[in-house]
Amino acid sequence: MTDVKGDVYFDGGNFGDVNASDESTSLSSVSVYNVYDNNNFVEQIVMRHGTTIRYREGADGAGTATYAVGYIGNNTTTMPGSGQATYKGFNESGTSVFDNSGTMEEMYLTGGTVELTADFGAGTVKGGIKDGELTTYRNMLPVVLNNAVTGLYIDANITGSEYTGTAHLVDANNNAVGTTQTNEAIGAFFGDGAAETAAAYVIEGNAMLDGQNRDYIMSGTIGAVKK
């Protein structure tokens, strides 16, 4: 990226995140996230050793574009060999659309809570988003696409300071909703003692959306800090 213009977000005197773009490219990072409940500020989640990344590239009117999600940070050098840790966090949507009769309509997994649990002895990471809603927006108003979808569940195995596994849209009992062709999740731990974690996911599948079985793609990032 050359000759980009960007901005830095500040809120209440707290340093935020950098977003940069040019005519055809945009790169955004999120490591500082304010949590609200019914428009009331609850808390601020601050990642100090890593950040989530979203990227897009494509000229207006072009038939193709590139979208990506990920993270970058200072990987944990000495991982815990036992015990468990729970991480509270935030979800940032990447490209998430469904096929509405040939038109790609955006969708979002909104609300709810974000939590990941690492079992260092077993070498697993599980969790994600729960108590949310899968929505789109029409005429500036949210429309729930499938009442059964309340979250996203990641099930991954740890290797070193990183982990890989699967991600699915799920119901309240963590049962997968619909079918998938791609359901990848990757993640890493950052800072001393695995103080933070970030994950990225991409799901391609088919599910009942807005009253019909429709193809969709969902991507996003999760950033979280140890409770």
Of 111, 89, 105, 67, whose CA–CA distance to 195 is shortest?
89
Token pair 């809120």 in the structure block, residue: 11
Question: What does the CA dihedral 88, 174, 97, 157 come to, rounded to 10 degrees?
Answer: 60
pTM of the model: 0.91
- The per-residue pLDDT for range 197-218, each reduced to its tens digit, is 999 999 999 999 999 999 999 9
Query: Residue 187's closest CA among 123, 110, 105?
Result: 123
**Average model confidence (pLDDT) across the chain:** 92
Where does the pLDDT of residue 87 fall: very low under 50, low under 70, confident under 90, or very high at 90 and above?
A: very high
Angle (CA) 70-74-75 rounded to 5° is 80
pLDDT at residue 35, rounded to an integer: 86
Among 149, 201, 156, which residue's Cα sits nearest to residue 170?
149
pLDDT of residue 53: 94
Comparison of pLDDT for 8 and 166, the residue scoring more? 166
Classify 140 as helix, strand or coil: coil
pLDDT digits (tens, 9 = 90+) for 185-198: 999 999 999 999 99
Which of 127, 118, 116 has its CA nearest to residue 83?
118
Q: How far from chain centre, in Å, is Cα 177?
A: 18
Which pLDDT value is given to residue 10? 58
Reported confidence tier of residue 133, pLDDT bands at 50, 70, 90? very high
Residues 6 or more apart whose CB falls under 8 angstroms from that of 95 comprise 56, 67, 217, 219
Strands 133-138 and 141-144, sheet pairing: antiparallel
Measured CA distances, 131 to 121, 148, 171 (Å) = 28, 11, 9
pLDDT band with cut points at 50, 70 and 90 for residue 42: confident
Tell me the torsion sign for CA atoms 87, 17, 107, 205: negative
